[in-house]
Amino acid sequence: MCGIAGRILTAPGQVGADLVDLMDAQEHRGADSTGFAVYGPPRDTGYVLRAMGFDKSRQDADLNAFEAVLKDHSSGFLSDPKIVTDENRHYCFRAEISDPTDLQAWVRDADELTDRFEVQSCGRSLEIIKDIGGAEAVAEKHGVRDIIGTHGLGHARLATESSVLPNASHPFWARPFSDVAIVHNGQITDYFTWRDKLSRKGYRFLTENDSELIAVWVSDQMKAGLTMEQALKKSITSIDGVFTYMIATPDGIGFAKDRFAMKPLVVVNRNGDLAAATEEQAVRRVMTEECDVINYDGPSLTGIWGVGNRSLAA
Ligand SMILES: NC(=O)CC[C@H](N)C(=O)O
């Protein structure tokens, strides 16, 4: 199962609230965990971080260690990290940081603290929020309904690979590509082969979740010069398994469906005001007026949707 969703607004607005509605409607597809990737107004400098600490009894010491790594890279918190905790052992925080001298080098060093922390997103505009529980519970805990932005992704997880851990839920950041996120419904059967190949290229995987791989795989292809659409098409013949996935960048959202067409995707696109989901009833939660629904039910399909007048074609 798993339910996925994408939402694009024609102007900045309540994209967080719409993503919560899209995921609340699909909670029955996977109540293990819920996650959101939201693209807010882009910054010219500085990044917004979303991170998780695994042991709140060590919160102060671990945050100090984290800050020290920032300092090593000539960066620092621009304001106090906003920490969210509950009865669970982990805690989450959001922080704005000044530009590290070399983002990739900073991410690599921050990942060395991986037994204590995980950076879940680091972007000029992307924020990934994910946690154990259903859409409304996660949204309320992390204030997702209040997030303003242009577009984003949502995910309700029924784990097939890896444990039901808050950090192993979707969306996944395409570490270390700063503003790229993915949600996936399905299973990648040649996961270990690809993970090994990408690890040998220097990429780091922090979970055992097969979906983490797709984000990095597509980003690596784009780094090598492919357009997003070319990379999406290539993924269909390169990656084995069943999948419908959506990948987002600051410019928009793309999707790919595998050769077996096992995993659904329905979309309403009203001149760029777009909602996509695994189930039609979810799309209709946010598209309440009369509208045509496109059912992408065939095999080997891809598509790209830009935000506003931005293009994903180049
Ligand atoms: N049910 C699914 O689609 C699961 C997606 C992915 N394989 C995971 O375990 O998170």
CA–CA dist 280, 171 (Å, integer): 21
Q: What is the mean pLDDT of the chain?
A: 94
Give yes or no for residue 35 having a pLDDT over 70: yes
CA nearest ligand 1 atom 10, residue:
159
Give yes or no for residue 311 having a pLDDT over 70: no
- On whether the CB atoms of residues 35 and 169 are closer than 8 A, the answer is yes
**Structure token digits, residue 30:** 């996977």
CA–CA dist 192, 202 (Å, integer): 15
Burial grade of 45 (CB within 10 A; 0-12, 13-18, 19 or more): exposed
Give the alpha-carbon dihedral of 7, 11, 14, 19, to 10 degrees: 0
Q: How close is the Cα of 219 to the center of ligand 1, in Å? A: 20
Evaluate if pTM is beyond 0.90.
Answer: yes
Ligand 1, pocket-test mutation among 23, 27, 209, most atoms within 8 A of CB: 209
Domains of the chain and any CATH numbers: 3-42+129-306 (3.60.20.10), 43-124 (3.30.70.600)
CA–CA dist 139, 25 (Å, integer): 13
164 or 109, higher pLDDT: 109
CA–CA dist 206, 186 (Å, integer): 19
CA–CA dist 238, 232 (Å, integer): 10
> What is the model's pLDDT at position 44?
96
Q: What are the backbone angles phi and psi of residue 57, rounded to the nearest 5°?
A: -70, -15
209 CB near ligand 1 (under 6 Å): yes
ipTM of the complex: 0.96
The reply to whether 92 belongs to the active site is: no
